[in-house]
Amino acid sequence: MTDPQTLRNWDNEHVWHPFAPMSAFRTEEVPIIERADGFDLIDAEGRRYLDGISSLWCNVHGHGVPKIDAAVKEQIDRMSHSTLLGLSNTPSIELAKRLVDLAPASLSKVFYSDSGSTAVEAALKIAYQYHRQKSNPEPQRDLFVCLSDAYHGDTVGSVSVGGMPLFHGIYRNMLFETLRIPAPVALHHPPELSKEAYLAWCFQEAEDVINEHADRIAGVVMEPLVQGAAGIWVHPPGYLKHLRNLTEKHGIPLIADEVAVGFGRTGTMFACEQEDVFPDLLCVAKGLSGGYLPLAATLATDEIYDAFLGEPSEGRTFFHGHTFTGNPLGCAAALANLQLFEESNLLKRIAENTERLKSRLGVLADHPHVAEVRQKGIMVGIELVANRPMLTPFPKELRMGHQVTVAARERGVIVRPLGDVIVLMPAPAMPVELIDRLVDVTIEAIDTAISQVQLSQTEGA
Ligand SMILES: *Cc1c(COP(=O)(O)O)cnc(C)c1O
């Protein structure tokens, strides 16, 4: 085994980390994770950390779960990979059946890929092609509607329907055109409107944009209930249903990106269930394999799928697929994940963890540097500000969100910020005692990081 210092050097010399400002990153000596055990990650030097972000929002039952481990090992002994192009394979068939049984009743077909980004990318292309091939073709439908500050992944199509200025701004000229509607979140609403008036305007604006461009719209893409990467922005009740009603009225496919919110995170298996919404396309990834292996799926209705049927020579095929589409190991992990989900009555655990997070985070309600604690199910965002009444952000150079994660790490807990929003994303199966530890350490880390900044400012003055 390579010794920790050599690993550190090689990491700095050769690994380009995602979403990382590399010049700062290389000085930070981040933990190099070597093993995992339950809800802990263990680094090359043997230090343990509680995994407070479920390995970037995908881990479901913890690490080293015997039943998932066994399922993957058994599958390895049979076959690790064979293609879905021109062939089929057992686990991908069984998983498709399972997913269709679980998903909203509108969905009956499963198209596999490898990541959330590719699941969204496939959905966009399917919707676009559908309008050109359906029985009453509408080839003029060429625009997607998406929300401000949306995040749907990092490939060019999913960035096109994304809207986070920091991540996406620089690529503006290489992206396709979209129609944007405002995310219905009111924390930073314009001063001339009340919170309620601003939200009402957001509902109206969605309606106006969709009505005005109704025959040009190929699809409406959204993250149901919660915009995760925007900073855990929780939508007001009824917004998802509102978009479903508007899209239905105009024959526009609704693409639900449940990559983050799917598999129990918001309290139900799928977020769409909470507003009785039946999407036309549904994207899942992150939690699908229990967070074990890269696997994603785009689910579709019969109505959409049928537009791709016909004589092979007609070319109505969906000409899209990846080498590892429907990978048997990923599908075996996913089947074990979903079985365990049911056996362990995980939705009940999630309901308990939701309540626990809520009560434990209550102490932040009056915190002078917390603008808002947002929570839906077991997804939490704590937005830090320099001045609470004015909602003045901390200066960017302070990297306050980052400082909090460093302070938490020193206390043995991994969290990750989105700007100055501290995100808590415990695995759904995390026991309540560990939820308590996650929250306690996070609050301590927030206070430590802020007092360190204040101290250095006093010293500098
Ligand atoms: C993470 C995420 C994606 C992208 O998934 P990857 O597997 O990282 O490509 C897409 N949509 C949402 C809502 C996400 O949270």
Give the per-residue pLDDT at 189: 85
pLDDT tens digits for 31-81?
Answer: 999 999 999 999 999 999 999 999 999 999 999 999 999 999 999 999 999
Contact 428, 264 (CB under 8 A): yes
* Pair of tokens at residue 30: 């981040």
pLDDT tens digits for 139-157?
Answer: 999 999 999 999 999 999 9
> Is residue 26, in this structure, part of any structural domain at all?
no
Amino acid at 124: L
Report the pLDDT averaged over residues 305-315.
96
At 190, the pLDDT band (50, 70, 90 cuts) reads confident
* Pair of tokens at residue 177: 């055109």
174 and 219 share a domain? yes
CA of 284 to the centre of ligand 1 (A): 9
Give the per-residue pLDDT at 461: 54
* Pair of tokens at residue 459: 């010293």
The region, left, alpha or beta by phi > 0 then psi within -120 to 50, assigned to residue 209 is: alpha
What CATH number corresponds to the domain at position 445? 3.90.1150.10
Give the per-residue pLDDT at 288: 98
At 1, the pLDDT band (50, 70, 90 cuts) reads confident
Residues whose CB is less than 8 angstroms from the CB of residue 408 and which lie 6 or more positions away in sequence, other chains included: 52, 414, 415, 441, 442, 445
Report the pLDDT averaged over residues 288-313.
97
CA of 321 to the centre of ligand 1 (A): 18
Residues 357/289/111/274 CA torsion (nearest 10 deg): -20
Report the pLDDT averaged over residues 1-29.
95
Contact 290, 336 (CB under 8 A): yes
Three-state secondary structure readout of 166-219 = HHHHHHHHHCCCEEEECCCCCCCCCCCCCHHHHHHHHHHHHHHHHHHCHHHEEE
303 and 413 share a domain? no
At 168, the pLDDT band (50, 70, 90 cuts) reads confident
320 and 383 share a domain? no
Any residues with Cβ below 6 Å from ligand 1, and which?
Answer: 115-117, 120, 151-153, 223, 228-229, 257, 259-260, 285-286
CA of 452 to the centre of ligand 1 (A): 34
Give the per-residue pLDDT at 460: 62
Report the pLDDT averaged over residues 394-419.
96
256 and 108 share a domain? yes
CA of 382 to the centre of ligand 1 (A): 20
Q: Which atom of ligand 1 is nearest to the CA of 114?
A: 7
Burial 388-397 (b: 16+ CB within 10 A, else e): eeeeebbeee
CA of 330 to the centre of ligand 1 (A): 17
At 459, the pLDDT band (50, 70, 90 cuts) reads confident
- Number of domains present in the structure of the chain: 2
User: Which of 55, 58, 259, 284 has most ligand 1 atoms within 8 Å of CB, for mutation?
Assistant: 259
At 298, the pLDDT band (50, 70, 90 cuts) reads very high
Length reported for the chain: 461
pLDDT tens digits for 219-264?
Answer: 999 999 999 999 999 999 999 999 999 999 999 999 999 999 999 9
CA of 311 to the centre of ligand 1 (A): 35
> Is residue 143, in this structure, part of any structural domain at all?
yes
Give the per-residue pLDDT at 285: 98
> Is residue 180, in this structure, part of any structural domain at all?
yes
Indicate if the pLDDT at residue 187 is higher than 70. yes
Q: Which atom of ligand 1 is nearest to the CA of 117?
A: 9
410 and 293 share a domain? no
pLDDT tens digits for 324-369?
Answer: 999 999 999 999 999 999 999 999 999 999 999 999 999 999 999 9
CA-nearest residue for atom 11, ligand 1, is 152
Query: Which string of DSSP letters, residue by residue, matches 97-126?
Result: HHHHHHS-TT--EEEEESSHHHHHHHHHHH
Average pLDDT, the chain: 96
> Is residue 297, in this structure, part of any structural domain at all?
yes
Q: Which atom of ligand 1 is nearest to the CA of 228?
A: 15
293 and 427 share a domain? no
Indicate if the pLDDT at residue 458 is higher than 80. no
Listed residue (226, 346, 204) closest to 275, CA to CA: 226
Residue 158 to residues 116, 139, 233, 240, 386, Cα–Cα distance (Å): 9, 21, 19, 20, 33
At 112, the pLDDT band (50, 70, 90 cuts) reads very high
Indicate if the pLDDT at residue 166 is higher than 90. no
Listed residue (256, 254, 263, 181) closest to 224, CA to CA: 256
Which range in 139-148, 164-173, 451-460 is most confidently predicted, on average pLDDT?
139-148
The residue from 343, 362, 396 where one domain ends is 343
pLDDT tens digits for 282-295?
Answer: 999 999 999 999 99
> Which run of H or of E encompasses 341?
helix 328-343
User: Which of 152, 281, 284 has most ligand 1 atoms within 8 Å of CB, for mutation?
Assistant: 152
> Is residue 262, in this structure, part of any structural domain at all?
yes
Q: How far is it, in rounded angstroms, from Cα 69 to Cα 281? A: 31
350 and 267 share a domain? no
Q: How far is it, in rounded angstroms, from Cα 175 to Cα 266? A: 31
The residue from 343, 362, 380 where one domain ends is 343
CA of 194 to the centre of ligand 1 (A): 32
* Pair of tokens at residue 50: 């509680």
355 and 304 share a domain? no
**Based on the number of CB atoms within 10 Å of its own CB, is 213 exposed (0-12), middle (13-18) or buried (19 or more)?**
middle
Among residues of the chain, what percentage have pLDDT more than 70? 100
CA of 303 to the centre of ligand 1 (A): 26
164 and 270 share a domain? yes
CA of 229 to the centre of ligand 1 (A): 9
**Based on the number of CB atoms within 10 Å of its own CB, is 138 exposed (0-12), middle (13-18) or buried (19 or more)?**
middle
User: Which of 55, 57, 117 has most ligand 1 atoms within 8 Å of CB, for mutation?
Assistant: 117
Indicate if the pLDDT at residue 102 is higher than 80. yes
167 and 54 share a domain? no
129 and 42 share a domain? no
What CATH number corresponds to the domain at position 148? 3.40.640.10
Q: Which atom of ligand 1 is nearest to the CA of 118?
A: 9
> Is residue 9, in this structure, part of any structural domain at all?
no
At 456, the pLDDT band (50, 70, 90 cuts) reads confident
* Residue 54: how many other CB atoms lie within 10 Å: 26
Listed residue (387, 362, 393, 366) closest to 375, CA to CA: 362
Q: What angle do CA 354, 294, 32 make, to 5 degrees?
A: 80
Residue with tokens 């994303």: 425
363 and 307 share a domain? no
Q: How far is it, in rounded angstroms, from Cα 253 to Cα 260? A: 20
Range of the domain at 430: 31-61+345-460
Q: Which atom of ligand 1 is nearest to the CA of 116?
A: 5
> Is residue 357, in this structure, part of any structural domain at all?
yes
The residue from 309, 343, 377 where one domain ends is 343
